């Protein structure tokens, strides 16, 4: 519980309307997309960096756990108040401060919705590529904290590749301004890239300058329906070998396709066992050339059908298939365990084989889709969290999937972060020395460990001092 004196100070900072300990308010901030509820002791909504500083000063003085929150769209429990404490929701700091058309940058507050930022810069002929699936409601601050990716990461990279500078408030209430608005800067350690993906464990993001690029001249989509998963998977490797880097290259397996097709009444044939949604962008000449090559590679496989689209309306129809995934498969079971393993692109066929073998071994339904263009496959285990026996098998399956991923030269998280759901497995990828170094970095930013405690590090982590 937060003691009364601290509550008075927090209420004085934000006012009665932006600070609450009422249960009906706290419940709304007790969960994220991981669907694991943890009730906070209070929630506060700052409107300025100055208020964030005062909030952190108060939390530091009274040793209150602080849980930064954007839209709560994360899949690994990164924003969950696992130790009660104070949720600091950044939704009200949502201004686009300045779009600099001369220098191709934009200054934003952390609560700006990703899609709104994209729409604002596109009106000026500019482009902000990172596009997580949650873009309609996820915030830029949350995107930075998780280093979000999305379908366009295959060609354009992820959030950290567009983060030029960032403001962060750390205990005991210090504002750190990292990076610069310029195209390059090598002054001091690169804390900007450290903050990207730090999951709120170092401080609260209060502002950022993001890089923009000119909007592509043209786009074209190809929807290729394959008779086998391996045909689709090997096509990804062949596109890369042909030096074709699509702006997006999305994959869906049979169960995923069937579910979406039934849900949206799309009429995709039963013989289609996998599909690729390929989008190419760039100059008109480049798009025509690369689209033709991509189509030729697809046609050498066992195709059920192939469809192309050039107009926005036609492309939206093709994208309907991919965008319907989460809603459709979410109806198949009470619980969906969504892991975002990532492997080298040429290992996609092998890792998919392994995942389906593991599914058979543990008698589980596992649906695969994702960003094949950068090797990021979402393995969705359809289960019921209340079924303890089955959840035991799920945990074993997840560990084996992660082991197979690492054996392939991959990583256990491509864009969802670690949070609490993956923290038990992080030691499979990072050794004790690496975790020790991470811990020393965290303690430098957060000496009393109030910032998003219980996240990223293994539940049984014990810091090991230097041995001399």
Task: Give the pLDDT confidence of 128-173 residue by residue, as tens digits.
Answer: 999 998 999 999 999 999 999 999 999 999 999 999 999 999 999 9
Residues 177 and 268 in one domain: no
pTM recorded for the entire structure: 0.95
Residues 101 and 208 in one domain: yes
Q: How far apart are alpha carbons 65 and 85 in whole angstroms?
A: 5
Task: Find where tokens 């706290």 sit.
Answer: 26
Q: Is residue 22 part of a domain?
A: no
Q: Is residue 422 part of a domain?
A: no
Residues 297 and 369 in one domain: no
Residues 226 and 199 in one domain: no
Tally the domains of the chain: 3
Residues 122 and 209 in one domain: yes
| 3-class DSSP assignment, residue 393 | helix
User: How would you class 68 by CB atoms within 10 Å of its CB: exposed for 0-12, middle for 13-18, buried for 19 or more?
Assistant: buried
Q: Which domain holds residue 209?
A: 96-214
State the pLDDT confidence band at 330, using cuts at 50, 70 and 90. confident
Q: What is the pLDDT of residues 164-204, one digit of tens each?
A: 999 999 999 999 999 999 989 999 999 999 999 999 999 99
Between helix 229-241 and helix 284-299 the angle, nearest 10°, is 140
Say what the pLDDT of residue 157 is.
Answer: 96
Q: Which of 180, 275, 203 is nearest to 57 (CA)?
A: 203
**How many CA atoms does the CB half-sphere of 297 hold within 13 Å?**
24
Residues 234 and 277 in one domain: yes
C-alpha 172: how far from its chain's center? 29
Q: Is residue 447 part of a domain?
A: no
Q: Which two tokens stand for residue 42?
A: 């209070």
Q: Which of 77, 78, 82, 79 is nearest to 39 (CA)?
A: 82
CATH of the domain at 164: 3.30.465.10
Residues 208 and 108 in one domain: yes
Q: Which of 7, 8, 42 is nearest to 25 (CA)?
A: 42
User: How would you class 37 by CB atoms within 10 Å of its CB: exposed for 0-12, middle for 13-18, buried for 19 or more?
Assistant: exposed
Q: Which of 355, 361, 347, 368 is nearest to 403 (CA)?
A: 355
| Residues, the chain | 468
Residues 210 and 225 in one domain: no
Residues 100 and 174 in one domain: yes
Average pLDDT over residues 322-339: 90
Q: Is residue 70 part of a domain?
A: no
Residues 297 and 247 in one domain: yes
Residues 103 and 153 in one domain: yes
Q: How far apart are alpha carbons 35 and 89 in whole angstroms?
A: 18
Q: Contact 73/221 with Cβ under 8 angstroms?
A: no
Last residue of a domain, one of 326, 361, 382: 326
Q: Which two tokens stand for residue 96?
A: 């686009």
Least confident of 107-121, 429-443, 453-467: 453-467
Say what the pLDDT of residue 317 is.
Answer: 87
Residues 347 and 287 in one domain: no
Residue 468 pLDDT exceeds 80: no
State the pLDDT confidence band at 323, using cuts at 50, 70 and 90. confident
CATH of the domain at 292: 3.30.70.2190
Q: Is residue 437 part of a domain?
A: no
Last residue of a domain, one of 326, 351, 384: 326
Q: Which two tokens stand for residue 298?
A: 């697809």
Instruction: To the nearest 10°, report the CA torsion of 171, 174, 178, 182.
Output: 150
Last residue of a domain, one of 172, 187, 214: 214
Question: Which carries the bigger pLDDT value, residue 273 or residue 468?
Answer: 273
């Amino acid at each position: 519980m937060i003691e009364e004196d601290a509550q008075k100070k927090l209420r004085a900072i934000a006012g009665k309307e932006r600070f609450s300990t009422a249960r009906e308010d706290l419940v709304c901030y007790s969960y994220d997309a991981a669907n694991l509820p943890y009730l906070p002791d209070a929630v506060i909504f700052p409107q300025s960096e100055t208020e964030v500083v005062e909030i952190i000063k108060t939390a530091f003085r009274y040793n209150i756990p602080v849980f930064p929150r954007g839209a709560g769209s994360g899949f690994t429990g990164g924003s969950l108040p696992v130790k009660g404490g104070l949720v600091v929701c950044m939704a009200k700091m949502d201004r686009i401060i300045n779009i600099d058309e001369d220098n191709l940058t934009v200054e934003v507050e952390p609560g700006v919705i990703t899609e709104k930022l994209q729409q604002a810069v596109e009106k000026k002929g500019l482009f902000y590529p990172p596009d997580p699936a949650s873009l309609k409601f996820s915030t830029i601050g949350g995107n930075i904290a998780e280093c979000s990716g999305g379908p366009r990461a295959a060609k354009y990279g992820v959030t950290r590749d567009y983060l030029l500078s960032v403001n962060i408030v750390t205990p005991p209430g210090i504002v750190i301004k990292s990076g610069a608005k310029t195209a390059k800067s090598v002054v001091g350690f690169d804390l900007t890239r450290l903050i990207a993906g730090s999951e709120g464990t170092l401080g609260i993001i209060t502002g950022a300058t993001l890089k923009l690029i000119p909007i592509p001249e043209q786009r074209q989509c190809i929807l290729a329906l394959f008779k086998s998963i391996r045909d689709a998977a090997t096509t990804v490797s062949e596109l890369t070998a042909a030096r074709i880097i699509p702006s997006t290259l999305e994959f869906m397996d049979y169960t995923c396709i069937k579910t979406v097709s039934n849900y949206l009444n799309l009429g995709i044939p039963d013989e289609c066992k996998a599909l690729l949604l390929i989008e190419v962008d760039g100059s008109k000449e480049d798009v025509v050339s690369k689209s033709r090559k991509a189509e030729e590679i697809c046609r050498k496989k066992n195709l059920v059908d192939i469809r192309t689209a050039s107009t926005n309306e036609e492309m939206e129809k093709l994208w309907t298939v991919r965008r319907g995934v989460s809603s459709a498969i979410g109806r198949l079971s009470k619980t969906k365990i969504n892991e975002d393993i990532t492997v080298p692109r040429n290992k996609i066929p092998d890792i998919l084989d392994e995942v389906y073998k593991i599914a058979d071994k543990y008698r589980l339904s596992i649906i695969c889709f994702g960003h094949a263009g950068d090797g990021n496959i979402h393995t969705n285990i359809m289960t019921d969290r209340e079924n303890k026996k089955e959840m035991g098998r799920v945990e074993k399956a997840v560990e084996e999937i992660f082991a197979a991923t690492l054996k392939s030269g991959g990583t256990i998280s491509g864009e969802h972060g670690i949070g609490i759901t993956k923290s038990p497995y992080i030691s499979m990828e990072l050794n004790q020395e690496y975790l020790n170094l991470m811990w020393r970095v965290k303690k430098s930013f957060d000496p009393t460990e109030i910032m998003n405690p219980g996240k990223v590090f293994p539940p049984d982590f014990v810091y090991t001092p230097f041995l001399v």
